[in-house]
Amino acid sequence: MKTKRLVFYAALLAFTVLAPYLLPDFKTQLATLWLMIIVAITWDMTGGQMGYNSLGNIFFYGTGMYVAAVVTIAIPFDVGDYTNAFSDRIYEFTDTQYFVGTLVGTLAAGVFCALSALVIGYITFGLRGPYFAIGTLGVAIAAGELVSNWEWVGGGQGISLPVFPYDLELGKQFFYFLFAGTGVAAFAFAKWLYSTRFGAAINAIRDDEEKAEAMGIHTMRYKLTAWSLSAFFVGIAGGISAFQLIHFEPLETAYQTINLGIFMVVCVLLGGKGTLWGPVVGAIVFHLFKEVTWNYFLGWQWVALGTLIVVTVVYFRDGIMGWLMHTRPEWFGIRIESKQGEAPS
């Protein structure tokens, strides 16, 4: 069993590394798929495992983009001048500046988002149930609106970043591996986290917060830690996206509340909430669904998406992994023991 599992993970890892060479035309698509996987896994950390359904995780994605861009620009130039420059001034980045900016900016984005999750969480985690969802959604929308009025970071125009300095195809590969690396790290981290005491504690918060608190769990500390860990990965993903997209603007790209902000939730629900593999499977299925509808039903894609949300939530609530667990429990090592003389249920 153990070797079987090792082989399975090794094969997946090998496919991850080889994918851009096997499917050279789909490098950007695969990179986006990894982005979906990252945001889905991190959403499930609080949403599925801890029972706090945030609709505002997109805040960390957008903030990550802006932090990464501002840090990269601020190393060699003045940010205010850069964002308000017209064609009369041209800013050139050297290769070192670009790669140092990518590394430092992305890490700074992760750290900043983790810290901001502590601050926002301290305020919003007092809200329960739907109030938490609406409150966090409000934070994300408000942040987008405020940033789009903030001239220092380019206002509604957004920010343009330098283009990848080498060959275009190499650039696509570069971003694929950045996303894939972050994704694998996020998955491995989540897998480890759920096996620790910490994982058990946040599951206890999900099941009954009052009882968990009565058992001596500092629920606020656990909630803040979990959210800030997930914000760290989302911030990094946002930072990488900023460099991959080259140009981004606040409302439609960075704080895209009704696009990625909802997609991540749908991915998790589709795959199965509160399971390790659910977000991954859900992200893959959702991304395929999205690309097919966006390509073949253009104009109706949002209707199809809304229908998918409604159908998933209302009729398919356990998600793909939950459904598999019901129909094929032996795949998950769950054995249903039947008493003698009784039919197995």
Cα 242 versus chain centre, distance: 14
306 or 329: whose CB is closer to other proteins?
306
The DSSP code sequence of 17-40 is HHHHHHSGGGHHHHHHHHHHHHHH
Least distance from other proteins to the Cβ atom of residue 91, Å: 27
Q: Is the dihedral of CA 107, 246, 42, 146 positive or negative?
A: positive
Helices (H), the chain: 2-22, 27-47, 58-74, 79-83, 95-124, 129-147, 168-195, 197-207, 209-214, 219-245, 260-271, 278-296, 301-315, 319-327
169 — phi, psi (to 5°)? -65, -40
Q: Interface with other proteins includes 270 (CB under 8 A)?
A: no
Three-state DSSP class for residue 159: strand
CB nearer to other proteins: pick between 117 and 308: 308
Question: Which range of residues in 30-38, 109-117, 141-149, 334-342 is near other proteins by CB under 8 A?
Answer: 141-149
Instruction: Name the DSSP class of 127.
Output: S
Q: How many residues bind other proteins (CB under 8 A)?
A: 37
Furthest CA-CA distance within the chain: 87
Name the minimum Å distance from CB 300 to other proteins: 7
Report strand pairing: 159-160 vs 247-248: antiparallel
Q: Does the footprint of other proteins cover residue 170 (CB under 8 A)? A: no
Which C-beta is closer to other proteins: that of 198 or that of 289? 289
Of 265, 276, 321, 324, the residue at the interface with other proteins (CB under 8 A) is 265
Of the residues 8, 9, 131, 294, which one makes contact with other proteins according to CB under 8 A: 131
Residue 328 CB, shortest distance to other proteins, in Å, is: 25
Task: Please identify which residue in 149, 151, 200, 323 interacts with other proteins, judged by CB under 8 A.
Answer: 149
Does 17 engage in binding with other proteins (CB under 8 A)? no
Give CA separation, 299 vs 40, 295, 303, 304, 308, in Å.
26, 10, 8, 10, 16
User: Which span (9-17, 70-78, 86-94, 119-127) binds other proteins, by CB under 8 A?
Assistant: 119-127
Using CB under 8 A, which of 13, 17, 75, 146 touches other proteins? 146
Query: Which spans of this chain sit near other proteins (rule: CB under 8 A)?
Result: 53, 123-124, 126-127, 129-131, 133-135, 138-139, 141-142, 145-146, 148-149, 258, 262, 265, 269, 299-300, 302-303, 305-310, 313-315, 317
